[in-house]
Amino acid sequence: MAYDLVVVGGGAGGTGAALTAARLGLRTLWLERESALGGTGVHSLVSVWQPAYTSSRLAAEIAERLLATDQAHFTAPRADTPSGRPIYRRDDAASYADTLQRWRDEGHTLLGPALTYDAGAMASLLEEMAAEEPCLTVRLGTVFLEALSEAGADGLRRLRAVRVAQDGEVEEVAGGHFIDATADLAVADSAGCQIRWGQEPRAAYGEPSAPEQPSLRLNGWTLCFECHEGPDRVDLPGEGSGPPADWAHISELPGGGYNVNMVYQLAGETGWRLGRELAREHLLRNIAGRWAGVRRAYGLEGYGITHLAPRIGVREGPRLVARYVLREQDFHRGDFGRHHPDCVAWTDHALDRHGPDGGCTEAANGPVGVPLRCLQPQEYDNLLVACRGAGFSSIAASAVRLQRTMMELGEAAARYITTGDVPVAQLPAQDRGARHA
């Protein structure tokens, strides 16, 4: 059977794309190699939606459904820890609208509340939402292998099918349109699209903070975990390693216990060279070396690790050299992308780099809009990229990679394929845009 649309990747971008396309009536196939949907948010236990502007309708709907069953709640920073470092505790006074504002105050000192969810509940909800759509077929445990292309119109190429494997069986699946939501550009890479790794040299886009020479530096990797009252229930290596930084991003979970993100653990470029298996060993040693200090700093002495993320959290990988590449200057305009006519998603998250001190540095920037052209490969007319590997410079990628932004990109990609019109995203309230201008 040929599908109108094949979406590869079941993470945030894929969720936005597949559910939106199916709701708009496209016969959609949604492929995911894992046995559950949810991508990094679920399998890497990144179960927090940081405060940032988004007009994603699907994210609001998902939040509402999780909140209604107490499988998500709002969390806000509280500096009531022994070290004075903030911990994200349940905040029943917050609303979803509050999470759409990165800063609570004009001085940019107080972060807005986040939405923290149960990872397993998110995976179940996404399956439930997919099952509600008659036009949507989900295939879990299905690995994309290869893109099969042919000549298309106007000198561009077209994808005609993808080769996939499930339970050892390899088959070709034909489609009219394709969306690469694999985070690491499995489809676009296989299709021969131009891709870039690491930091671009300043000459590439004139970014003021870019290095003179290209560099392979990539944002850091992290192995997130959950902890509950009681002893550690996972085996950690006896020997710890790495700087003894006690910095972490810790959020109270809806069902009790905490989600722990040690923020920086391993340089991204080292992780890619080590491979995930060896990198995981390194990350476990890093946790072993730091967990006692983190516990003390955040007043979690009675807590033990109960669940390590099955997958390492990867912040940055290959990125598409798209028809437009979002760059640092787009943030410094600070006008929610009003200088581009085709913005399909917005964010005001910081440009951040996760560094060896265990923390993260945030560069001041204004809010930004993501043009549709960032999703469009230069080489294809029926392939869009809706994931963290879309057309962003390394600097820009650090701010736009958030789950709700990815979801909004997926929604936009599906709308564009369905109607052919650029689904220009709703602008945020005027006062917020003006404040950053």
Ligand X SMILES: Cc1cc2nc3c(=O)[nH]c(=O)nc-3n(C[C@H](O)[C@H](O)[C@H](O)COP(=O)(O)OP(=O)(O)OC[C@H]3O[C@@H](n4cnc5c(N)ncnc54)[C@H](O)[C@@H]3O)c2cc1C
Sites of contact with ligand X (CB under 6 A): 8-14, 31-34, 39-41, 44, 46, 48-50, 143-144, 181-183, 186, 222, 224, 261, 313-315, 387-388, 401-404, 406
Least distance in Å: CB of 157 to ligand X?
20
Q: Assess contact for 195 and 224: CB atoms under 8 A.
A: no
In terms of CB distance, is 273 or 339 closer to ligand X? Answer: 273
Report angle CA 18, 23, 25 to the nearest 5 degrees.
Answer: 100
Count of C-beta atoms within a 10 Å radius of residue 91? 18
CA pair distance 252, 90, nearest whole angstrom: 6
Least distance in Å: CB of 77 to ligand X?
13
Q: Assess contact for 202 and 324: CB atoms under 8 A.
A: no
Least distance in Å: CB of 212 to ligand X?
28
CA pair distance 197, 132, nearest whole angstrom: 38
- Count CA within 13 A, CB hemisphere, residue 236: 24
Helix intervals (H) in 191-258: 202-205
In terms of CB distance, is 189 or 202 closer to ligand X? Answer: 189
Strands 136-139 and 28-31: parallel
Least distance in Å: CB of 203 to ligand X?
27
The amino acid sitting at 177 is H
Burial of residue 48 (CB within 10 Å: 0-12, 13-18, 19+) is buried
Least distance in Å: CB of 78 to ligand X?
17
Least distance in Å: CB of 224 to ligand X?
6
Question: Cβ-closest residue to ligand X?
Answer: 11
How many angstroms from the chain centroid is the CA of residue 361? 18
Least distance in Å: CB of 46 to ligand X?
4
In terms of CB distance, is 50 or 71 closer to ligand X? Answer: 50
CA pair distance 376, 381, nearest whole angstrom: 8
In terms of CB distance, is 333 or 406 closer to ligand X? Answer: 406
In terms of CB distance, is 311 or 333 closer to ligand X? Answer: 311
In terms of CB distance, is 11 or 318 closer to ligand X? Answer: 11
In terms of CB distance, is 14 or 367 closer to ligand X? Answer: 14
